[in-house]
Structure 1
Amino acid sequence: MHPVSSDVPCVFVIGGSAGIGRAIAQALLAEGAQVVVFSRSDPLAYPGLEGAHWWPLDLTRGDDSRRELARAVTRFGSRLAAVFYSAVAYGPRRAPLLEVLDSQWREQLATNLEGLWHTLSATLPALLARPPGLFVGLSSEVVYNGGPLRAGYAATKAAASNLLQSVAQEYPESQVRVVQLLPAEMVDTPGIRKRRDASFDCSGYMNSACFQTVAVQLYRTRGFGAHGRALVVDAHSQVRDVNQHLPASQSRQPT
């Protein structure tokens, strides 16, 4: 782990080893933030996150993950300016409800919802201590569309979205800004590729880097004007409020 600077704002990226979370971590590093990436696998094993810190975290391990988050806040909390929650569990494939294993449901619940709960519980006091703090959750179109063959993912992401909406209503934006981001289309991530055939062409999907511009803007302004909003990010890094136009369902994409 690199030395801790005493005067540089710190940002936590939960689930930042790959995909959207990794892209956000890279952009915030380039912006000059001190970035702590929380993940099961080492994100520093590959180029692109030089200068970041890695804090091993397995959100499926309940009490252990809560303790690790508390330890991280003890170490970095006095400078914690923002938290980006990008951890997600999809499962190996889309499947009818009756074919979903209990273990898959428990992983989705632990990562998509309980992990968010633990992260909020651990980091909100530190964010409130340096107002205005910023908490950004990565959401999904399933919150608005549901859809077949992904009941567990849709249920946990919808619950997570409502959790963030509730927290946003508990605090004024002068204290903390709570924002949600979601992609307008399917995003090319390692998780998506694992659920596709090796020959599948993902070139028509969004790139994780599309989230970098809005992430940096939110960090710079600490979410000014975005408190309580869910923002849809498109393939050109353009942003719109989800209430302006609901995202299209991705239920009919290949499995």
Structure 2
Amino acid sequence: MTESLKADSTVFVVGGSTGIGRGIADALLADGRKVVIFSRSRPEGLESSPRLVWAPMDLTQPEESRNQLAEAVGRHGATLDAVFYSAIHYGAGRAPFLSVTELEWRRQLDVNLHGLWLTLQGTLPALSRRSPALFVGISSEVVYNAGPERSGYAATKAAASSLLQSIAEESAEPAVRIVQLLPSGMVDTAGIRRRRPDDFDYSSYMQPSSFGRIAVELVRSRGEGLHGQSLVVTAEGEAEPVSLAPPVSQSRRSV
């Protein structure tokens, strides 16, 4: 794709201030796209590129989030080619089901599932007008493995994956191609670090930047040939269908 065409290409990254979302946003910026990050916290480096835009959003406030999405689509929808949904609420930490508060459960629903629903509702019409366009959800191994002491996280991520898969199956040749990505192992993110001891060793963890290459490839191709697929991303940035690379459970109590 030429630089002039890239300049007319906008990508939304919901949950892009840190973690996997930020790794994706940085790679797409480097590829010449305009990137709009939706997040509660202000992303670092906003001043470094005129193509990086921040749209404040708190997905626990659904009406405000709906309005923010509508405003952003109004401003950028004419060039919107792809949306990445990377927003996540892990919770305070792993805990038995009966120890999890209703407030935490509702926050997981708001961010992990209802926020995805709002984003789909708010962006699919604009994406359809740029056919073929792309919607990418960041999934998790819990969709396939569940695991103890993470009932809310596992339930909401499984429901989110099913929501995207159901939409993907509505059309064999859609205007918007639906793809899901998930890491092959634990990822070193700000959210994970808040739940670990100060002296925790992250040397075996993936980096958010591992998602950069596949994100760029997906946007360049608009997900051609990958509609409805879930891809497992490795630390080296390789991606394989989940059917060929079943994710390993991360239910170790120490992490």
Q: 1:85 aligned to 2:85? A: yes
Aligned letter for 2:188?
D
Q: Is the CA contact 2:46–2:54 (under 8 Å) kept in the aligned structure 1? A: no
Match in the other structure for 1:119: 119
- Alignment RMSD: 1.7
Percent identity over the alignment is 56
Match in the other structure for 2:150: 150
Instruction: Please state whether the residue corresponding to 2:135 is helix, strand or coil.
Output: strand
Query: Distance between the aligned counterparts of 1:46 and 1:65, measured in 2?
Result: 21
**Per-residue deviation, 1:102:** 1.0
In the TM superposition, 1:1-20 aligns within 5 A as 8-20=8-20
Query: Distance between the aligned counterparts of 1:155 and 1:10, measured in 2?
Result: 32
Match in the other structure for 1:97: 97
In the TM superposition, 1:33-182 aligns within 5 A as 33-44=33-44, 51-182=51-182
Q: Is the CA contact 1:44–1:50 (under 8 Å) kept in the aligned structure 2? A: no
Aligned letter for 1:11?
V
**Per-residue deviation, 1:245:** 2.9
Query: Distance between the aligned counterparts of 2:174 and 2:101, measured in 1?
Result: 44
Q: Please identify, of 232-241 and 172-181, the stretch whose mean Cα deviation from structure 2 is larger.
A: 172-181
Q: Is the CA contact 1:58–1:65 (under 8 Å) kept in the aligned structure 2? A: yes
**Per-residue deviation, 1:49:** 6.2
Q: Is the CA contact 1:57–1:65 (under 8 Å) kept in the aligned structure 2? A: yes
Counterparts in 2 of 1:225 and 1:253: CA distance versus 1, 3 Å: farther
Q: 1:32 aligned to 2:63? A: no
Query: Distance between the aligned counterparts of 1:58 and 1:49, measured in 2?
Result: 24
Counterparts in 2 of 1:46 and 1:126: CA distance versus 1, 3 Å: closer
Query: Distance between the aligned counterparts of 1:70 and 1:25, measured in 2?
Result: 20
Q: Is the CA contact 1:137–1:180 (under 8 Å) kept in the aligned structure 2? A: yes
Instruction: Please state whether the residue corresponding to 1:180 is helix, strand or coil.
Output: strand
Q: Is the CA contact 2:145–2:249 (under 8 Å) kept in the aligned structure 1? A: yes
Count residues with an aligned counterpart: 251
Q: Is the CA contact 1:44–1:54 (under 8 Å) kept in the aligned structure 2? A: no
**Per-residue deviation, 1:45:** 5.3
User: Any gaps of 5 or more consecutive residues in structure 1?
Assistant: none
Q: Is the CA contact 2:112–2:157 (under 8 Å) kept in the aligned structure 1? A: yes
Normalising by structure 1, report the TM-score.
0.94
Instruction: Please state whether the residue corresponding to 1:117 is helix, strand or coil.
Output: helix
Query: Distance between the aligned counterparts of 2:15 and 2:48, measured in 1?
Result: 15
Match in the other structure for 1:209: 209
Instruction: Please state whether the residue corresponding to 1:63 is helix, strand or coil.
Output: helix
Deviations 1:150-198 (A, max 9, x none): 0000000000000000111123345111000000000011111111000
Q: Which runs of 4+ in 1 moved over 6 A?
A: 46-50
Query: Distance between the aligned counterparts of 1:150 and 1:159, measured in 2?
Result: 14
Aligned letter for 1:216?
V
**Per-residue deviation, 1:221:** 0.3
Counterparts in 2 of 1:76 and 1:232: CA distance versus 1, 3 Å: same
Instruction: Please state whether the residue corresponding to 2:197 is helix, strand or coil.
Output: coil
Counterparts in 2 of 1:169 and 1:220: CA distance versus 1, 3 Å: same
